[in-house]
């Protein structure tokens, strides 16, 4: 493999996540997973959803297994939902406090992983600020261990992509006729990347990635999507509008990044800008939200918003993924 070619690296990563029988062993990226597998995971996730107020779905499919959460970047929703998903499947869940772990003493990530592996942690859920960490770990663990990417730099966030397409499917059905607008800091957003991977595989009609030019993605990273720098053009007749946070932690030099008022006026998802979308458009946001910057607060709480449903779906999707890698393990 030519390590300089990012597409080859991705192909290799896509192959790494399936076992010889095509079953999901690791979840590193949605890129390269086919439509049938994505659809099966969404269908499984739907099976874990219960009515509001009812008790959450539970099973014992991961009883005896251990899930380790290793979040080397902040997280509320993703970490809490992996924790609950593991417990609701009967697994033991270890939430490693990385701020007090030996990585702070200079231990390498692989040594941390080998330590947990020696304690029979079967599934490691990893969030890290550097590119390539989940795949790197996946190449080094023992054959019975699964690695799930819970957010990799600005590269990918596959379970987020799955929960986003599940939410869209629940409201809009088939993807073919949909206009989907993702608005915000696309360049630094792993959420936008994984949504793009899933939506293009699922056959989305028209995917528009809208941002100021300075926050636009490289075109070769988002084949199948349209890069748009004008909000009115991008949001026109949209069935789905997803707002994204400006990822300041990933932007080294903030020169040229618009100020808050200018940004909200030109790229904010607001009552005004939503007038251009379809009247029945849904509004999404992965959280954490910066109200009044990328989204008008009252819109986030209004009838078109499906933001809390995304959170609910997040637990179901993570149960579906954990159950699936558990079955792959059991079949080995």
Question: What are residue 125's DSSP bridge partners?
Answer: 69, 148
Show Cβ contacts of residue 63 under 8 Å, excluding neighbours closer than 6 positions: 89, 90, 91
CA distance 153 to 131: 5
Of the pair 134, 286, the CB lying nearest ligand NCD is at: 286
* CB of 240 vs ligand NCD, minimal distance in Å: 17
Show Cβ contacts of residue 131 under 8 Å, excluding neighbours closer than 6 positions: 152, 153, 154, 155
Of the pair 212, 329, the CB lying nearest ligand NCD is at: 212
**Quick one: which of 88, 190, 221, 318 contacts ligand NCD (CB under 6 A)?**
190
318 touching ligand NCD, by CB under 6 A: no
Tell me the site size for ligand NCD, rule CB under 6 A. 12
Of the pair 170, 247, the CB lying nearest ligand NCD is at: 247
Of the pair 191, 240, the CB lying nearest ligand NCD is at: 191
* CB of 118 vs ligand NCD, minimal distance in Å: 29
* CB of 193 vs ligand NCD, minimal distance in Å: 10
Of the pair 82, 136, the CB lying nearest ligand NCD is at: 82
* CB of 267 vs ligand NCD, minimal distance in Å: 15
Show Cβ contacts of residue 54 under 8 Å, excluding neighbours closer than 6 positions: none
Of the pair 250, 327, the CB lying nearest ligand NCD is at: 250
Q: Which of 301, 13, 43 is nearest to 138 (CA)?
A: 13
Question: What are residue 182's DSSP bridge partners?
Answer: 209, 242
Of the pair 224, 288, the CB lying nearest ligand NCD is at: 288
* CB of 151 vs ligand NCD, minimal distance in Å: 5
Question: What are residue 146's DSSP bridge partners?
Answer: 123
207 touching ligand NCD, by CB under 6 A: no
* CB of 111 vs ligand NCD, minimal distance in Å: 25
69 touching ligand NCD, by CB under 6 A: no
The owner of tokens 């990385």 is 98
CA distance 172 to 232: 22
In the 8-state DSSP scheme, what is residue 123? E
* CB of 249 vs ligand NCD, minimal distance in Å: 8
Of the pair 195, 329, the CB lying nearest ligand NCD is at: 195
**Quick one: which of 68, 86, 134, 151 contacts ligand NCD (CB under 6 A)?**
151
78 touching ligand NCD, by CB under 6 A: yes
User: For 221, what's the count of Cα atoms within 13 Å in the CB-facing half-sphere?
Assistant: 18
CA dihedral 316, 318, 319, 325 (to 10 degrees): 150
**Quick one: which of 157, 169, 187, 197 contacts ligand NCD (CB under 6 A)?**
157
Kind and range of the H or E run holding 226: strand 226-228
Any alpha helices (H) in the chain, and if so which ranges?
A: 6-16, 35-47, 77-88, 109-118, 133-140, 158-172, 190-201, 231-235, 260-267, 271-274, 297-300, 307-331
**Quick one: which of 31, 221, 245, 324 contacts ligand NCD (CB under 6 A)?**
245
77 touching ligand NCD, by CB under 6 A: yes
Q: Which of residues 268-287 bind ligand NCD (CB under 6 A)?
A: 286-287
Of the pair 200, 247, the CB lying nearest ligand NCD is at: 247
Question: What are residue 111's DSSP bridge partners?
Answer: none
Binding residues vs ligand NCD (CB under 6 A)? 77-78, 151, 157, 160, 190-191, 245, 247, 286-288
């Amino acid at each position: 493999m030519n390590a300089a070619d990012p597409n080859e690296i991705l192909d290799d990563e896509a192959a790494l996540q399936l076992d010889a029988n095509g079953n999901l062993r690791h979840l590193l990226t949605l890129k390269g997973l086919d439509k049938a597998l994505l659809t099966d995971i969404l269908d499984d996730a739907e099976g874990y959803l219960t009515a509001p107020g009812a008790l959450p779905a539970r099973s014992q499919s991961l009883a005896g297994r251990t899930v380790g959460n290793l979040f080397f970047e902040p997280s509320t929703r993703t970490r809490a939902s992996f924790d609950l998903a593991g417990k609701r499947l009967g697994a033991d869940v270890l939430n490693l406090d990385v701020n007090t772990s030996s990585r702070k003493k200079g231990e390498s990530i692989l040594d941390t992983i080998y330590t947990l592996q020696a304690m029979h942690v079967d599934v490691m859920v990893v969030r890290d600020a550097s590119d390539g960490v989940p795949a790197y770990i996946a190449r080094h663990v023992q054959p019975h261990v699964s690695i799930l990417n819970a957010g990799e730099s600005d590269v990918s966030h596959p379970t987020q992509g799955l929960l986003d397409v599940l939410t869209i499917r629940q409201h809009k059905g088939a993807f073919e006729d949909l206009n989907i607008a993702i608005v915000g800091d696309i360049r630094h957003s792993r959420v936008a990347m994984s949504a793009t991977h899933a939506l293009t595989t699922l056959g989305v009609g028209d995917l528009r990635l809208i941002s100021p030019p300075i926050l636009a993605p490289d075109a070769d990273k988002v084949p199948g999507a349209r890069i748009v720098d004008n909000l009115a053009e991008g949001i026109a007749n949209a069935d789905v509008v997803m707002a994204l946070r400006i990822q300041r932690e990933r932007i080294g030099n903030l020169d040229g990044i618009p100020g808050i008022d200018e940004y909200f006026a030109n790229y904010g998802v607001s009552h005004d800008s939503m007038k251009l979308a379809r009247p029945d458009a849904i509004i999404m946001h992965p959280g954490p939200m910066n109200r009044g910057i990328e989204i008008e607060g009252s819109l986030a709480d209004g009838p078109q918003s499906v933001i809390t449903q995304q959170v609910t779906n997040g637990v179901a999707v993570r149960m579906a993924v954990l159950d699936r890698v558990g079955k792959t393990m059991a079949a080995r």
